[in-house]
Amino acid sequence: MAATPAHEVFKHPARTPLIGPSILSADFGRMEEDCRQAIEAGGDYLHLDVMDGRFVPNLTMGPDMCRWMRKYFPTAALDVHLMVEEPEKFAEAFAAAGATNITFHVEVHSGSAAVRLAEKIRSAGALAGLAINPPTAVAPMLEIAGAFDMLLVMSVNPGFSGQAFIPSVLEKAKAVKGLLRPDQRLEVDGGVSPKTARACKDAGMDAFVAATAIFGVAPAGRAKAIREMREA
C-alpha cells in the first residue's frame, strides 16, 4: 500500500516536537467535536490507546473506533498504541481501519518476533512502533530500535490517563535517542504537560502524547496548552 500523506507527519515533521492529543481523555460522547477541536488547536496527530484488560488493568477501544476516526478525519495521522497481550491478533485490523502508526510493547514481543511483527504491520500499510514501560530494562529496545519508525518511552505505567510523570525514564530516552536516524520518532506518553515537556525535549523526545494536559482543560485553553508543550 502506498504511504498516505498522514505518514508524512511522522516521517517529515513540519514542527518539532509533534504533539499528539490522546483521545483517552476526550469526551467519548462528543468524540468528533473534541478531536476536531484538538486538531484545530494545533495537535499534529491523534493518539488512540487500545487496552485489553490483561496487559493493563483497563479496557478502552478497538479497530472500529479507528475506522470511524479515519472516516471523520481522512487526512489525520492516527497513532494506535496497543497495550495488549496479543498485538499480532489486532495489528492488521487496525491497519485496515486506517491507522497511520501501530505501536506494540517490547514486554510482549522482543527480538526477532518483534521485528517480524513490525514487518507485518508495514506490509499492511502502517508505520510500526515499539513501546517500553517504565520498569523495563532498555536493552531489548536498543537491540531492535532500527527496525521501527517510532520508539515510545512510557513515562507512566500504562492503563490510565492523569498519572504523574516518572522522571527516571528520561535516561532511557537518551539511550534510545542516541541510536535513532532522523526519520525515526522518539515518543513520550504519560504525564506530559507544559511543566514536564522541557525535560522531555532535553532528553531528545520529539513526539509528545498528552491526554489530561489537553482534554483536561476547557476547549478555549487547549491551543495554549499545546503551544506551551511545543515551545517548552
- Binding map of Zn ion across residues 24-63, x = CB under 5 A, - = no contact: -------------------------x--------------
Please state, in angstroms and rounded to a whole number, the distance separating the CA atoms of residues 91 and 82. Answer: 8
Asked whether position 222 contacts ligand DX5 by CB under 6 A, the answer is no
Decide: is 167 part of the binding site for ligand DX5 (CB under 6 A). no
42 lines the binding site for ligand DX5 (CB under 6 A): no
Q: Does 79 bind Zn ion (CB under 5 A)?
A: no
Residue 37 interaction partner, one of Zn ion, ligand DX5, none, beta carbon < 5-8 Å per kind: none
> Which residue's beta carbon is nearest to the bound Zn ion?
81
**What does the DSSP assignment read for 51-91?**
EBSSSSS-B---HHHHHHHHHH-TT--EEEEEESS-HHHHH
- Minimal distance in Å, beta carbon 58 to ligand DX5? 8
- Count the site residues for ligand DX5 by CB under 6 A: 22
As a whole number of angstroms, the distance between CA 71 and CA 127 comes to: 19
Catalytic residue among 34, 44, 149, 189: 189
Element holding 50 (H helix, E strand): strand 46-51
| Residue 144 CB neighbours (<10 A) | 19
According to the binding rule CB under 5 A, does residue 189 interact with Zn ion?
yes
User: Which ranges of 49-207 does DSSP label H, i.e. alpha helix?
Assistant: 63-72, 87-96, 111-123, 139-144, 169-177, 197-202
Residues in contact with Zn ion by CB under 5 A are 49, 81, 189
Residues in contact with ligand DX5 by CB under 6 A are 22, 24-25, 47, 49, 81, 156, 158-163, 189-192, 209-213
